[in-house]
Amino acid sequence: MNKKKDILSLDEFGVEQISELLVQTDSFAEILKRDVKKVPALRGKTIINLFFEYSTRTKVSFELAAKRLSADLINFNASSSSLNKGESEIDTIQTINSMKNDLIIIRHGDSGYINYFAKNVAVPIVNAGDGKHEHPTQALLDLYTIYKNFESLTGLKIAIVGDILNSRVARSNIKLFGKMGMDVTVVAPSMLMPENFAGFNTKFANNIDEVIGDIDVLYMLRMQFERQERKYYPSLKEYNRFLSLNLARFNSMKKNSIVMHPGPVNRGIEISGEVMDIKISNTDKIKINTQVSNGVAVRMALLYYALS
């Protein structure tokens, strides 16, 4: 079989390799602090940014990462593509494969789609999110953010709160954080959790108050209304009462703890407006914008890895 370096998930990466990636990310982050934020590392390489599902930050983040490594990047929006002219997905894939690019970044709404895609193309594939399955670059940027803040990972207590059932971010993060020796608790009501979650080896809670005073990292998930095929959660009021981060809960967190969120935040749902308003002034505690900045450096490191 071929030896192309697909990044479909972080399952194939060992602890050593991930630690190495974190260190390498430092050098890419350093580039982003320069006046001229560009290096010729991937000059002459062509990357396709193929988004079958709507995205702003991930797409722009990948685009910046590619351009800062001097690769040529082409954006492909499925909404304006031949898919709407009746071309089947397999034919679209073959068309793109025939264009002789060097790497394809893909986001798709169906779990496992990217595994299927990777089987049908010759160049490396980077998963920018597939359905409810994996979002490996998000997981690595989250890990990098935690690592930069705490300088070590082992034993850190993290709670991942919200719609676990429909979240690819949760699936990737749970695996990665667990692998790196962190102490993970998943917080969700029964209907927003897969029925058989025991295999993930995390702790469980149904209510944010059970964990809020004891954790180092509070990771709030986006309430994914667009990905919920089966809606059983009763109401926003109920969500706010048991799962949202409001000011009182924010103030009850440990001194050196941090708040994270993959974005975009639904103000007033998972995080209250009051808490969101202090994120500019309190970047030590609320790391949401730092995650976005780190995303570019992490994706530079991964693109460089996949093409070198």
Partner 1 sequence: MNFGNLKSKSKENILIRNGCIINPKAQEKYKADILVLDGIIKEIKKNITCESADNIQEINAEGLYVCPGFVDMHVHLREPGNEEEEDIESGAKSALRGGITSMACMPNTLPVIDSCYLVEYIKMKAREIDYNVYPVAAITKSLKGEELSEIGLLVNSGAVAFSDDGKGVQNSRLMYEAMRYGKQFDALFILHEEDDNFSNGGIVNEGYYSAILGLEGISNLSEDLMVQRDIMLSKISGARIHITHVSSARSVELIYGAKADGVNITCDTACEYLFFNDSILTNYDTNFKIKPPIRSESDRLAIVEGLRNGTIDAIASDHAPHLLLEKNKSFKEASFGSVGLETLFKASLTKLFYEENLSLEKIVALISLNPAKILNIEGGELKTGSIANISVVDIESENIYSKDSIISKSKNSSFIGQKLNGEIMYTIVNGKSGFSNS
Report the residue number, 150 or 197, with the smaller CB distance to partner 1. 197
198 makes contact with partner 1 (CB under 8 A): yes
**Residue 155: CB minimum distance to partner 1, A:** 24
**Which range in 125-133, 137-145, 247-255, 295-303 contacts partner 1 by CB under 8 A?**
125-133
**Which range in 18-26, 124-132, 146-154, 266-274 contacts partner 1 by CB under 8 A?**
124-132
Q: Pattern of binders to partner 1 over 128-147, x per CB under 8 A?
A: --xxxxx-------------
Q: Pattern of binders to partner 1 over 99-118, x per CB under 8 A?
A: ---------x-xxxx-xx--
What residues numbered 215-254 form the site for partner 1, per CB under 8 A?
A: 229-230
**Residue 89: CB minimum distance to partner 1, A:** 7
**Residue 106: CB minimum distance to partner 1, A:** 11
Q: Pattern of binders to partner 1 over 153-182, x per CB under 8 A?
A: ---------------x--x-----------
> What does the CA dihedral 174, 266, 297, 120 come to, rounded to 10 degrees?
70
Report the residue number, 161 or 245, with the smaller CB distance to partner 1. 161
**Which range in 68-76, 82-90, 154-162, 271-279 contacts partner 1 by CB under 8 A?**
82-90
Point out which residues bind partner 1 (CB under 8 A).
88-90, 108, 110-113, 115-116, 130-134, 168, 171, 194-200, 229-230
